[in-house]
């Protein structure tokens, strides 16, 4: 199973070379998993989704320097593919991870038996929809066009931005992502689920941005920041899992099993909310490495 790898960037790379290397690595990662994802492989779907996020993060990183019509068009196409992958992934996690976890944690979880068939059907429907998207000629065409575009100076606006040194621009790119996180994290203790979800998305964007650019920096400088960011993301992910489980079970026929899922979700949600203030403070205390 191929996992995400940092693009082989160096201090001498231009923005044009950086775009080609970053998008090339993301496309290699995605295309390595598409055959298995078309067959419904759970891990391949997950890895394909990660690859798509990295591709979109690259476009977001260089957004101020890219020709906007083409960049936005590719981003929209990748977003649509990501939604299909996300729907399949959500039901994979619910049926293969969340339901077993609830059974293990709750001695009264027998009511979950009633969810097995309808949840399985929902998962199959999401996988069927995903296969249609992955087999569509347009999907392969978009990915091929993105790879070609990544190697062209016309990807940039103005075109001479392609010759700028990536290492000089990287701090500004990461600053913009980090500032977005700080804005989204204001008054964290008073935020509702929607605001915390926005913070989670901003954290993901920062994480993937760092993953694309961190080979330009010494690992000893990067590691503490990545560790604090990872801990905060883990807490946010636990909170998201709890919310997602309830949202998914409400798409299924009503019954006592909803209360079983709700109890599990409430416990997991509270544990995440209790941990968040500390992990947020530790993250804010870490000086950015760039």
Label residue 262 exposed, middle or buried (CB < 10 Å: 0-12, 13-18, 19+). Answer: middle
Is the alpha carbon torsion for 28, 30, 36, 42 positive or negative? positive
Helix, strand, or coil here: 191?
Answer: coil
The pLDDT, as a whole number, for residue 4 is: 87
Long-range own/partner contacts, residues 147-150 (CB < 8 A, 24 or more apart): 147/23, 147/24, 147/27, 149/70, 149/74, 150/19, 150/20, 150/23, 150/24
Residue-wise pLDDT tens digits, 135-146:
999 999 999 999
Res 1: pLDDT: 76
- Assigned CATH class of 168-290: mainly alpha
* 206 vs 173: CA distance, rounded Å: 10
Distance, in Å, from the CA atom of 42 to the CA atom of 253, rounded to the nearest integer, reads 25
CATH class of 14-164: mainly alpha
Q: What is the pLDDT of residue 159?
A: 96
Domains 14-164 and 168-290 share a fold: yes
The residue extents of the domains of the chain are 14-164, 168-290
What is the per-residue pLDDT for 271? 96
pLDDT of residue 86: 98
Rounded Cα gap, residues 9 and 14, in angstroms: 10
275-to-87, 113, 207 alpha-carbon distances in Å: 28, 32, 20
Low-confidence ranges of the chain (pLDDT < 50): none
């Amino acid at each position: 199973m191929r996992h995400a790898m940092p693009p082989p960037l160096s201090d001498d790379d231009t923005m044009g070379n950086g775009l080609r290397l970053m998008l090339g690595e993301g496309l290699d990662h995605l295309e390595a998993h598409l055959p298995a994802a078309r067959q419904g492989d759970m891990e391949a779907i997950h890895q394909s989704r990660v690859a798509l996020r990295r591709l979109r993060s690259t476009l977001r990183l260089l957004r101020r320097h890219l020709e906007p019509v083409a960049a936005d068009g590719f981003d929209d196409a990748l977003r649509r593919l990501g939604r299909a992958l996300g729907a399949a992934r959500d039901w994979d996690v619910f049926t293969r991870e969340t339901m077993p976890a609830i059974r293990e944690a709750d001695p009264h979880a027998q009511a979950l038996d009633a969810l097995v068939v309808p949840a399985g059907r929902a998962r199959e429907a999401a996988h069927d929809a995903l296969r249609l998207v992955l087999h569509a000629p347009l999907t392969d065409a978009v990915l091929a066009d993105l790879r070609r575009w990544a190697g062209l100076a016309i990807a940039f606006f103005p075109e001479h931005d392609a010759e700028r040194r990536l290492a000089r621009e990287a701090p500004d790119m990461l600053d913009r992502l980090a500032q977005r996180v700080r804005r989204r994290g204001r008054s964290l203790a008073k935020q509702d689920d929607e605001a915390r979800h926005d913070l989670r998305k901003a954290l993901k964007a920062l994480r993937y941005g760092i993953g694309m650019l961190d080979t330009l920096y010494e690992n000893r400088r990067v590691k503490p920041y990545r560790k604090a960011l990872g801990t905060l993301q883990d807490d946010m992910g636990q909170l998201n899992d709890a919310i997602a489980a309830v949202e998914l079970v409400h798409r299924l026929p009503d019954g006592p099993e909803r209360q079983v899922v709700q109890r599990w979700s409430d416990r997991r949600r509270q544990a995440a909310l209790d941990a968040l203030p500390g992990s947020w403070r530790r993250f804010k205390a870490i000086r950015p490495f760039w």
